[in-house]
Amino acid sequence: MSIEDKLRDVLKTIPGHVKLVTVSKTQPVESILLVYNAGQRIFGENKVQELTEKQPQLPDDINWHMLGHLQTNKVKYIAPFVSLIHSVDSLKLLKEIDKEAAKNKRVIDCLLEFYIAREESKFGMSMEEALEILNSEDYKNMNNIRICGVMGIASFVDDPDIVRAEFKSLVGIFSRLKSEFFPDKDYFSEISMGMSSDYRIAIEEGATIVRIGTAIFGERDYSK
Ligand SMILES: *Cc1c(COP(=O)(O)O)cnc(C)c1O
């Protein structure tokens, strides 16, 4: 099946209110253009270097999302153009994004990444860490970031009940943060969860953004 056909099949399973981030990591510019020409405008990458290499080679109206772990010293490379950072996992990183956004006279939209999987994972925060950030003076003084919601990655397991419970936990986190910190902020509305193997469950549980690579482009080839 062609990439365009796979995209069409995926889109059929995604309701209109859910945004699709096409995850283009490891994919060549030519494949990304096929998806772009089929109408898709949101692309996600997980490495700063790959993102900054591809962005100038592709059309200007693409919304680039940063999905992967972001080191503070690399924020400056994506701050001029990135449209949503899904992977904010520390106050230090948020401060750096705010600083670089200010330099670029921008407000950068961010999601707080939460650790929801049962597997050991290096990335993502706990509720306690998020509360510490949102209650801090540092956060209150930031003018160039906007926290638009939450992101999480479920366990890579075959048991859909485990995955579903993890997505439910992220929705619970979203609801608590919404009512405690953003009750009258319409922009705090995003729940980014679900990948090729589990996005249908994520949508059932309330995802507003799904991040899909393999189901559209096929298996990634990391050897290139
Ligand atoms: C690679 C990646 C995805 C997409 O994974 P697929 O299984 O290829 O759909 C989604 N989210 C993040 C954070 C990723 O790194």
The answer on pLDDT for 36 being more than 90 is yes
Global model pTM greater than 0.85: yes
Ligand 1 site, residue 23, Cβ cutoff 6 A: yes
Which pLDDT band holds residue 122 (cuts at 50, 70, 90)? low
Closest CA to 113 of 95, 135, 93: 93
Q: Assess contact for 137 and 111: CB atoms under 8 A.
A: no
The answer on pLDDT for 62 being more than 90 is yes
Q: 165-220 pLDDT, tens per residue?
A: 999 999 999 999 999 999 999 999 999 999 999 999 999 999 999 999 999 999 98
Centroid of ligand 1 to alpha carbon of 136 (angstroms): 31
The fraction of the chain above a pLDDT of 90, given in percent, is: 94
Ligand 1 site, residue 27, Cβ cutoff 6 A: no
Q: What pLDDT, on the 0 to 100 scale, is given for residue 119?
A: 73
Which pLDDT band holds residue 80 (cuts at 50, 70, 90)? very high
**Which of 48, 84, 156, 195 for mutating ligand 1's site (highest number of atoms within 8 Å of CB)?**
195
Question: What's the maximum distance between 2 C-alpha atoms anywhere in the chain?
Answer: 53
The answer on pLDDT for 25 being more than 70 is yes
Q: Are strands 190-192 and 145-152 parallel, antiparallel or unpaired?
A: parallel
Average pLDDT, the chain: 96
Q: Assess contact for 45 and 17: CB atoms under 8 A.
A: no
Q: 143-178 pLDDT, tens per residue?
A: 999 999 999 999 999 999 999 999 999 999 999 999
Ligand 1 site, residue 211, Cβ cutoff 6 A: yes
CA torsion sign, 185 to 91 to 112 to 165? negative
Residue 38 tokens read as: 């089929």
CA torsion sign, 123 to 92 to 94 to 106? negative
DSSP state letter for 125: B
